[in-house]
């Protein structure tokens, strides 16, 4: 009988990878959409109710100055999953197709598959739940939320900012079903190590969740986020254009429903937190608990009127800062707090390092294992966020520096100005600090990819999401 040498080589390679992977830890990879820093353990908003996110943070290391790669779903996720920054791929915004510029062999999930892992996915990992089936062992079929408005709903929101309480039960919501898939996988026997990606959609708009979550935040007690009038007066023209103060913010002020929007966002976070808790409970009950790395991240932050802006799509703290938590058995210690500024490009190389998988040469992020071991360890590299070609936000220590493509600049000192109300970029005494930040701005930048249709800016009747095909 004739034999194909290539087939035999591939088969032996798979057997070797499976044998080698047998001793490797599992990975529980939790992605949350549009969750800003309004979580209990970060202390930014005292109204937030996130006991499950907080208990995960208390069991490992939380990064209090974590930054996204881009303040929009598509480029943030494409960068994190590929190891390539927006400035390398040209994927800077939503509506730009990442698949032609990020080949299958470069993605994070492909590395785990090649190393002998079973790779499971559910919910929103890439933008719009898009994915390539060959990069997963199995991908849970996504679904739309039924979204039955509760009788107390006051319409569907204000302009493009959509929110309303629902008459639905938790079990009807897609995020509940995504969490249920994760619970099932965590409770099942596995003969290979697994990588389980769980993508939760809320608190992405529309902020429509069962009414009981709205009831957790009585409207009369809701507080608006700290803000000041004319906050954009010292912001360069490029930043003002990003803020679009005459758009969502003007409409919200005119409506008088700012508090209702804040209530709805808090309710959506609380709903998300419950789903995180269900997944964590399943892991804690699993025999794999002590052999499973947990990394939880939100793809970017969100403005609710701060700096006269709503949504993400900016380079300020509210859009760039995200939730970022690691729990690594045998490495992290409970209650770890790392105040060093890092960005999400660290996820890919760090997971490779922790699981013994070779890091591909194309990966641009840095391995933060030293910070997981010792959260106060020295770190010299600023966190970097990019939104469209030439526009960058860098954070290091107490400072955030923003440089726009047209040369406009902003600099904020968070030790004195946590809400970024005073732009120090014009102060001559800050010139040396700005020079040091400039050294970390990307030296070459890919051209923007064509932008197709995207539902981010539209008022969704439902969730306006692609339905991912099951493998």
CB 31 within 8 A of CB 200: yes
Which residue in the list 37, 127, 309, 392 is annotated as catalytic?
127
Alpha carbon of 390 to those of 220, 245, 370: distances in Å?
43, 22, 31
Active-site residue 73, yes or no? yes
227 labelled catalytic: no
Map the chain to HEC letters.
Answer: CCCCHHHHHHHHHHHHHHHHHCCCCEEEEEEECCCCCCCHHHCCCCCCCCHHHHHHHHHCEEEEEEECCCCCHHHHHHHHHHCCCHHHHCCCCCCCCCHHHCCHHHCHHHHHHHCCCEEEEEECCCHHHCCCHHHCCEECCCCCCCCCECCCCCCCEECCEEECCECCCHHHCHHHHHHHHHHHHHHCCCCCCEEEEEEECCCCCCECCEHHHHHCCCHHHCCCCCCCCCCCCCCCHHHHHHHCHHHHHHHHHHHCCHHHHHHHHHHHHHHHHHHHHHHHHHHHCCCCHHHEEEEEEECCCCEECHHHCEECCCCCHHHHEECEEEECCCCCCCCEEEEEEEEHHHHHHHHHHHHCCCCCCCCCCCCCHHHHHCCCCCCCCCEEEECCCCCEEEEECCEEEEECCCCCEEEEECCCCCCCCCCCCCCHHHHHHHHHHHCCCCCCCCCCCCCCCCCCCCCCCCCCCCCCCCC
- CA-to-CA distance for 419 and 161, rounded, in angstroms? 22
Cβ–Cβ < 8 Å for 352, 358 = yes
User: Which one of the listed residues 37, 41, 68, 73 is annotated catalytic?
Assistant: 73
Instruction: Give catalytic residue positions.
Output: 73, 127
């Amino acid at each position: 009988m004739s034999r194909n040498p290539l087939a035999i080589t591939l088969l032996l390679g798979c057997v070797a990878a499976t044998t080698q992977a047998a001793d490797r830890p599992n990975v529980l990879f939790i992605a949350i959409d549009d969750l800003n820093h309004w979580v209990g353990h970060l202390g930014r908003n005292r109204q937030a109710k996130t006991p499950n996110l907080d208990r995960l943070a208390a069991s490992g290391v939380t990064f209090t100055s974590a930054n996204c790669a881009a303040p929009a779903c598509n480029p943030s996720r494409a960068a994190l999953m590929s190891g390539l920054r927006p400035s390398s791929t040209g994927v800077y915004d939503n509506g730009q197709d990442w698949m032609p510029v990020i080949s299958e062999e470069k993605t994070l999930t492909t590395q785990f598959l090649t190393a002998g892992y079973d790779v499971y996915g559910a919910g929103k990992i890439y933008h719009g739940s898009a994915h390539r089936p060959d990069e997963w062992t199995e991908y849970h079929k996504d679904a739309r939320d039924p979204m039955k408005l509760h009788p107390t709903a006051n319409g569907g929101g204000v302009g493009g900012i959509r929110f309303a309480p629902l008459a639905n039960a938790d079990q009807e919501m897609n995020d509940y079903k995504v969490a249920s898939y994760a619970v099932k996988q965590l409770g099942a026997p596995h003969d290979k190590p697994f990588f389980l990606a769980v993508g939760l959609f809320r608190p992405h708009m529309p902020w429509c969740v069962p009414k009981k979550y709205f009831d957790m935040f009585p409207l009369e007690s809701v507080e608006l986020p700290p803000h000041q009038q004319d906050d954009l007066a010292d912001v360069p023209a490029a930043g003002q254009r990003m803020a679009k103060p005459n758009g969502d913010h003007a409409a919200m002020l005119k409506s008088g429903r700012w508090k209702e929007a804040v209530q709805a966002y808090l309710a959506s976070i609380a709903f998300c937190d419950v789903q995180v808790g269900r997944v964590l409970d399943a892991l804690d009950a699993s025999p794999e608990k002590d052999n499973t790395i947990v990394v939880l991240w939100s793809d970017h932050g969100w403005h609710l009127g701060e700096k006269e802006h709503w949504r993400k799509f900016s380079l300020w703290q509210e859009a760039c800062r995200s939730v970022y938590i690691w729990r690594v058995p045998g490495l992290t210690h409970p209650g770890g707090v790392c105040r060093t500024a890092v960005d999400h490009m660290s996820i890919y190389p760090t997971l490779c390092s922790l699981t013994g998988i070779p890091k591909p040469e194309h990966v641009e992020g840095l391995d933060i294992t030293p910070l997981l071991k010792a959260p106060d360890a020295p770190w010299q590299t600023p966190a970097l966020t990019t939104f469209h070609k030439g526009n960058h936000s860098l954070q290091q220590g107490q400072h955030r520096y923003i440089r726009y493509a047209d040369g406009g600049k902003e600099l904020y000192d968070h030790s004195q100005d946590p809400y970024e109300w005073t732009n120090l970029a014009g102060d001559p005494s800050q010139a040396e600090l700005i020079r040091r930040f400039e050294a970390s701005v990307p030296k070459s930048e890919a051209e923007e990819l064509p932008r197709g249709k995207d539902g981010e800016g539209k008022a969704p009747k439902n969730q306006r999401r692609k339905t991912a095909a099951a493998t």
